[in-house]
Amino acid sequence: MNDSKRIKESEITDENTYLNRRNFIRAGLLAGTTVASGLGYRLLNPPPPRPVETADIKGVTKSGNASLTDEPNSLEEIANYNNYYEFSTSKTGVAGAAENFKTRPWTVSVDGLVRKPRVFGIEDILKIDQEERIYRFRCVEGWSMVIPWVGFPIKRIFDIVEPLGNAKYVAFQTFYGGSNPRGEGVDLPEGANGMQSSLFAGIPFPYVEGLRLDEALHPLAILATGIYGKVLPNQNGAPIRLVVPWKYGFKSIKSVVRITLTSEQPPTTWSKAAPNEYGFYSNVNPEVDHPRWSQATERRIGELSRRDTLMFNGYGEEVAGLYKGMDLKREY
Ligand SMILES: Nc1nc2c(c(=O)[nH]1)N[C@H]1C(S)=C(S)[C@@H](COP(=O)(O)O)O[C@H]1N2
Ligand SMILES: [Mo]
């Protein structure tokens, strides 16, 4: 990409948006002064980007995403501008806060309405064929990136556990644990993973998300284990995270430990926190504004001018059929 179009991430537009995004939730939880001044300090003094040191993943099949002409963001951008509230609510602070997150041993329990429930060791999951998928990624806050993920369709897991006929939804859960000086004594189990308490983050943990089963079975919905052919950095949701490219970024839940098939629509973290602002579907839709800001345009990280946001983030041809007959303004 033309260098003159790329800018530094120290600009604070998105930080302001995201502060607004959760301020009203925090207001009820904390008296703002000390926390607010800490955030103010971090906004004015963002830490320098951290180098990304992760191992190569062997045997990745190259992408079939030939139609995607957008230039991918750099690994440095992708790994230094994050939303991962368990570690930090500062996008530039997540990488450092997640540095000592332990992702081994790691298991993913797949249970609920399946014929063969199973607890997978991460080593077994990594034996599934890994492919590169270059996807657009659009956060509900109005920024976007292009990310070359490594991963595999979630359907591969369902082929192993065999969903029962009455399974209609899939619930996902993030690991939650560890200890942190700021979180100690609040609601954290023992451990040393560097996560903070719900009280500091302003949203309930463990982080949970959900999809309809037919959405989860869609070939574009993947479980990602890497970026740029390398093992997923902690801050991006190591060792395994969901990626649903036609939905807002918060649906793409990180560091998954449990996948449960259900007959009822499962609760999701952001819709629990603010149901009038974040719905279950959360499909990228330029025509349905967030109650407090427009979704018509977005800022691609690294670019100066805003781009038009695309319906279903540009994946309408593939996924619009999933929502036939639905009122997407009502089912946001
Ligand atoms: N467990 C968990 N998953 C999460 C989040 C989070 O705070 N906790 N943030 C979400 C949001 S809002 C976004 S935009 C993406 C960011 O992913 P990235 O940091 O890899 O770009 O992760 C999503 N998944
Ligand atoms: Mo997001």
In a domain, 328, yes or no: no
In a domain, 70, yes or no: yes
**Other Cβ atoms within 10 Å of 121 Cβ, number:** 13
- Taking each helix axis from N to C end, the angle separating 13-27 and 33-44, rounded to the nearest 10 degrees, works out to 170
Cα 329 to averaged position of ligand 1 atoms, centre (Å): 24
Please, is 239 exposed, middle or buried when counting C-beta atoms within 10 Å of its C-beta (0-12, 13-18, 19+)? Answer: buried
Residue 39 has pLDDT above 90, yes or no: no
* 285 within 8 A of 241, measured Cβ to Cβ: no
In a domain, 330, yes or no: no
Length of the chain: 332
Mean pLDDT of the chain: 86
Cα 69 to averaged position of ligand 2 atoms, centre (Å): 23
Among 197, 208, 254, residue to substitute to test ligand 1 (most atoms within 8 Å of Cβ): 254
Residue 110 has pLDDT above 90, yes or no: yes
pLDDT value for 237: 98
With b for 16 or more beta-carbon neighbours within 10 A and e for fewer, the 158-176 pattern comes to beebebeeebebbbbbbbb
Query: In terms of residue numbers, what domain contains 234?
Result: 3-320
The distance between the two most distant Cα atoms of the chain, rounded to a whole number of Å, is 55
- Under DSSP, the state recorded for 142 is S
DSSP 42-95: HHHSPPPPPP---PBPTTPBPP--TT--SPPPPHHHHTTS--BTTTBSSTTTHH
pLDDT value for 40: 52
Which range has the worst mean pLDDT, 17-21, 115-119, 315-319?
A: 17-21
* 278 within 8 A of 288, measured Cβ to Cβ: no
Residue nearest to atom 6 of ligand 1 (CA): 84
* 251 within 8 A of 211, measured Cβ to Cβ: yes
In a domain, 8, yes or no: yes
CB half-sphere exposure, 250, CA atoms < 13 A: 21
Among 14, 22, 75, 83, residue to substitute to test ligand 1 (most atoms within 8 Å of Cβ): 83
pLDDT tens per residue, range 173-209: 999 875 444 444 445 544 447 888 888 899 999 999 9
In a domain, 329, yes or no: no
pLDDT value for 147: 97
pLDDT tens per residue, range 244-282: 999 999 999 999 999 999 999 999 999 999 999 999 999
In a domain, 332, yes or no: no
Cα 114 to averaged position of ligand 2 atoms, centre (Å): 30
Among 200, 242, 250, 300, residue to substitute to test ligand 1 (most atoms within 8 Å of Cβ): 250
Q: Which ligand is nearest to the CA of 270?
A: 1
pLDDT (mean) for 126-136: 96
Place of tokens 């065999």: 162
Residue nearest to atom 4 of ligand 1 (CA): 253
Which atom number of ligand 1 is nearest to the Cα of residue 207? 1
In a domain, 325, yes or no: no
Which atom number of ligand 1 is nearest to the Cα of residue 255? 1
Q: Is the CB of 83 under 6 A from ligand 1?
A: yes
pLDDT tens per residue, range 137-174: 999 999 999 999 999 999 999 999 999 999 999 999 99
Cα 228 to averaged position of ligand 2 atoms, centre (Å): 21
In a domain, 12, yes or no: yes
Residue nearest to atom 5 of ligand 1 (CA): 84
What is the CATH classification number for the domain harbouring 205?
A: 3.90.420.10
* 271 within 8 A of 234, measured Cβ to Cβ: no
Give the pair of three-digit tokens for residue 49. 């980007």
Q: Is the CB of 21 under 6 A from ligand 1?
A: no
Q: What is the pTM of this model?
A: 0.88
The structural domain count of the chain equals: 1
pLDDT tens per residue, range 47-67: 888 888 889 999 999 866 656
Q: Is the CB of 131 under 6 A from ligand 1?
A: no
* CA dist list (Å): 34 to 31, 122, 171, 204: 8, 40, 36, 21
- Under DSSP, the state recorded for 252 is S
Cα 306 to averaged position of ligand 2 atoms, centre (Å): 17
| pLDDT confidence band for 37 (50 / 70 / 90) | very low
Residue 116 has pLDDT above 70, yes or no: yes
Q: Is the CB of 84 under 6 A from ligand 1?
A: yes
